Amino acid sequence: MPINKEDTSLKKDLVLCEDGSYTLYSHQFEEPYHSTKDGALHESLEKHVKPSFTLKSDKPNLTILDICFGLGYNTFATLHYIKKHNLKTKVHILSPEFDETLVRSLDTFNFPTEFESIRHIIKQVSQNFYYEDEQFKIEILIGDARQSIPQIKEKIDIIYQDAFSPAHNPLLWTKEWFADIRAICLDDAILTTYSTAAAIRLGLYENRFYIFVHRAEMMRYSTVASLKMLEGLEYIDMELKKIRNTEARSMRDADYLKDMHS
C-alpha cells in the first residue's frame, strides 16, 4: 500500500450554483457548502445578511458570530452588503473554522464579481486569518468551534448558524452547543439559520430563544431565532409544536459523543 495514499475524504469539488456563484462539495461531510439551488451568494444574503441587518438597522456597532467560516461567503457578503448600501455600521466578525487549508486556499477561489471591491480583504483573511480597518474587523478562530466558542469574551449581536447539516455535523446543532452560544449573547441577540427542523428549533427554544419563520423571494423559508420577542415576523409557538409533535426532541451532545467514543 502506498505510504502517502491520498485521503479522498478531504477532497472538495467545485460546484456551480443556480445563482451563478461557486461553492464546494465536501467529501468529508458528504454535502455541498451551500444549497446549490438557492446559490452560495444568494443564500448568504437572503438567509443571513439581509434579515440580520434589517432587524439590527438601529445599531451602529455589531458583533457577529459566523458559524463556521468555510468559504467565507457569509462574512464577505456582509461586507459587500454594508458597502453596497453605504452603511456606516462597524462590524466585528468572529468565525470559527477547523479547516485551515481551506481558508488558506480562498485567495484564489473563484468568488462572484460582487466581492471584487473586497479582494484585498479576502487576501488578508486567507493569509493571516485576520483583517482590520476603521470599519471592519474579521477574526478567524482556527480550531474546533466547540472549544473556541466558550473562550470568546465579546458579547454577540448576531449569529449566522451555518454549519453542515445536523445529520452530518451534529455537534454544532445540539442543545449544549446552543447553550454555549447563548452564554456569549447580548440580551437582544438574533440567530439566522437555514434549518427549519423541529429538533433544531427545540434546541434553540430550550435556550430561551423565540422562534420565527423567515421568508425571502426565490428561496426556501428559513429560521430566525431571537432572545427578544420580535414584531412583524411569523412567530412559532413552540409549546403548541410540542403538543402537536410529542416525538420531537432537541439534539444532545451525549448521543453523538457516545457514537464518537464507541
Ligand X SMILES: C[S@@+](CC[C@H](N)C(=O)[O-])C[C@H]1O[C@@H](n2cnc3c(N)ncnc32)[C@H](O)[C@@H]1O
Residues that bind ligand X (CB under 6 A): 33, 44, 68, 70-74, 96-99, 102, 144-146, 162-164, 169, 172
In the bound state with ligand X, the residue whose beta carbon lies nearer, of 29 and 235, is 29
- We find the least distance from the C-beta atom of residue 231 to ligand X, in angstroms, to be 28
Name the residue whose CB lies closest to ligand X: 70
- We find the least distance from the C-beta atom of residue 187 to ligand X, in angstroms, to be 25
In the bound state with ligand X, the residue whose beta carbon lies nearer, of 194 and 209, is 194
Q: Report the SS3 class of residue 255.
A: helix
In the bound state with ligand X, the residue whose beta carbon lies nearer, of 19 and 162, is 162
- We find the least distance from the C-beta atom of residue 84 to ligand X, in angstroms, to be 18
- We find the least distance from the C-beta atom of residue 20 to ligand X, in angstroms, to be 16
Q: What's the chain's Rg over C-alpha atoms? A: 18
Q: Are 98 and 144 in contact (CB under 8 A)?
A: yes
In the bound state with ligand X, the residue whose beta carbon lies nearer, of 115 and 210, is 115
Q: Are 64 and 156 in contact (CB under 8 A)?
A: yes
| HEC profile of 53-85 | HHHCCCCCEEEEEEECCCCCHHHHHHHHHHHHC
In the bound state with ligand X, the residue whose beta carbon lies nearer, of 27 and 241, is 27
Q: Are 84 and 76 in contact (CB under 8 A)?
A: no
Q: Is the peptide bond before 68 cis (omega within 30 degrees of 0)?
A: yes
- We find the least distance from the C-beta atom of residue 72 to ligand X, in angstroms, to be 6
In the bound state with ligand X, the residue whose beta carbon lies nearer, of 131 and 210, is 131
- We find the least distance from the C-beta atom of residue 219 to ligand X, in angstroms, to be 15
Alpha-carbon gap, residue 39 to 16, rounded angstroms:
8
The β-bridge partners of 225 are 191, 211
- We find the least distance from the C-beta atom of residue 222 to ligand X, in angstroms, to be 14
Q: Which among 162, 235, 231, 246 is positioned nearest to 205, based on CA atoms?
A: 235
Alpha-carbon gap, residue 256 to 82, rounded angstroms:
39
In the bound state with ligand X, the residue whose beta carbon lies nearer, of 240 and 260, is 260
| Strands of 126-233, DSSP E | 130-132, 136-142, 156-161, 185-193, 210-214, 222-226
